[in-house]
A and B are shown apart, each in its own frame.
Chain A
Amino acid sequence: MDIEVSEPRSLLEAARGGDTRAFGELCRVYETRLLRQAMGLCSNASLAEELAQDTLVEAWKSLRRYNGRCQFFTWLCAILLNRYRNTFRQKHPLSFSTLGGGDQAQYESHQATLVDAAAGPDQAAQMHEQAALMRACMAALPAKLEQVIYLRFYVDDSLEEIAGALGCPVGTVKSRLFNALEKLRQMNALDDHQENLPMKGGQR
C-alpha cells in the first residue's frame, strides 16, 4: 500500500507543538473519511458524528503518542475503533433483531449500500443478511482480533501500517489475523449449522 503522500507533516508537527489551528486543518483533511468509518461502525448518522468528534478530541489529547510508524489516518481509525468498542457499543449496542422501527429502517438502508446494486432482490437480501451477520461476528471477537480485522479489511492497511498503529511486531499482526479469520470461520460454520437445523413446529 502507498504511503500517504498528502499527509501534511508540517501540520502534524505544528499540532504537536500545541497549535490548535494546525490541528484544525488536519481535521479538515481526515474528517470525511473518518466519518465514513464511524458510519460503518454505528450505522447511525448522529452517533457516527459523535464518535468521530470524540475520536478527534482524543487524538488531540494524545497527539504526542503518535509515533509516525503508520499513517495518521490509520492511527485515527485505531482510536475510533477503541472508542466505539469501549464507549459507544456499550451505550448503544447494535442488535439487529432488537432495533426499533426508525433505526432498523436506517440500518437496513445503510446495509443496502454495502451490497451490489446490480444484484437481484433475493441475492441482495442474502448479502444483506450476510453483512449483518459478519458485523455481529466481528463484534464478538476479542478486542485485539477485531482491531486487526478492522484495520486490514475496513481501513485497507498493510501489515506494517497495522503493526505501527498497534505498536506490535508484524508477526503478531499476522498471527492475530489468522486467529481472527479462524474464529470468524467457526462462527460462520456454527451459524450455517443452526440455519440447517429443523425448527420446532415445522417452521423455517
Chain B
Amino acid sequence: MKPCANQQKRIAALALDLLEPHPARELQAHLEICAGCRDYLAELTRVAEQLAATAPSEELPASDQFHRRVMARIEVRPDGPDWRVIWGILRAVPTGWRLVLPLVVVILVLTRIGVGHSPKTAVEVHSPAPASVQVAAGDADADLAPTVANYQRIAEESPDKLDELLARQEPPTARAMPVYTASSRTLRF
C-alpha cells in the first residue's frame, strides 16, 4: 500500500525525530488507521537507524607528525601579495581613509599610465629619420636629411631633382614597391 501523499513529509519528520509534539499526536492517530503510512514510517525509520549505526566511531589519534605537517603547509607563504595582511592594515585605518586610500592608489596608477602615453609633440613628428637611411657620400642633395621640409624645398626647385633624391635615398629592399613620382604624377611599378 502507498502512503497518503499529504502525510509523507510529516512521516519523514517523525522518522527524523523532527516533528513537534502536537502534529506528532495527530500523525499517530492517522497511523492507527492507515496501513500504507505505517509501512512508510517503518521503512524510513529503518533507514534512519541504519544511518545512525554507520556513524564513524573509530578513533584515530592525531600524531605530532600530523600536526607538524599541517603547520608546515600553513606557514608556507603563498606567492604574490598577502591579502590577509593588506586587509588587516586597511581595517586598522579609519573608515573615511579606507575609501580614500584605494582611490589615491587608483589615481596614481592612472596618472602614471597617462604620462607614459602622452601625445608626441610637433618637434618629435619632424624628427630625423633613423640612422638606417643611408645617403651617397659627396652628393650635396644626398646629404640632405630626409625631412618633409627638405623635400618641399627640392620639389620647388625641380620635380626631377626630387625624383632623383628620392631614388637615391630609397632603401634597396623597397625598390620593388610602387613609387609615386613627382614629375609624372602617375604610379610607376
A contacts, CB < 8 Å to B: 17-18, 20, 23-24, 27-28, 31-32, 35-41, 45, 48-49, 52-53, 56-57, 60, 64, 110, 113-115, 127, 130-131, 134-135, 138, 149, 152-154, 156, 159, 174, 177-178, 181-182, 184-185, 188-189
With most chain A CB atoms within 10 A of its CB, the pick from B47, B52, B71 is B47
| Bound-state Cα–Cα, A140 to B16, Å | 20
Show 20 A/B contacts (Cβ-Cβ < 8 Å), sorted by A. A24-B70, A24-B74, A31-B66, A35-B60, A35-B62, A38-B60, A39-B56, A40-B55, A40-B56, A53-B69, A134-B50, A177-B16, A181-B12, A181-B16, A182-B8, A182-B12, A185-B43, A185-B47, A188-B43, A188-B46
- Known interface pairs A17-B88, A188-B47; 20 further A-B residue pairs with C-beta atoms within 8 A, sorted by A's residue number: A18-B85, A24-B67, A36-B56, A36-B58, A40-B58, A53-B69, A113-B57, A114-B55, A114-B56, A130-B53, A131-B50, A134-B53, A138-B51, A153-B52, A153-B55, A159-B18, A178-B13, A178-B16, A181-B12, A188-B43
Binding site for A on B (CB under 8 A): 8-9, 12-13, 15-16, 18, 43-44, 46-48, 50-62, 66-67, 69-71, 73-75, 82, 84-85, 88
Question: Chain A interface secondary structure, helix, strand, loop or mixed?
Answer: helix
Q: Which residues of chain B have C-beta atoms less than 8 A from A138's C-beta? A: 51
Contact partner of B60 among A36, A127, A152, A182, CB < 8 A?
A: A36
Alpha-carbon gap, A17 to B66, bound state (A): 24
Does the CB pair B51–A134 fall under 8 Å? yes
Bound CA span A52–B67, Å: 10
* Secondary structure dominating the interface of B: helix
Q: Which of A39, A56, A156, A159 contacts B58 (CB 8 A)?
A: A39
From A41, A134, A177, B12 is in contact (CB under 8 Å) with: A177
Q: Report the Cα distance A134→B61, complex, angstroms.
A: 26
Contact status B56-A134, CB under 8 Å: no
Known: A23-B74, A184-B51. A18 touches B67 (CB 8 A): no
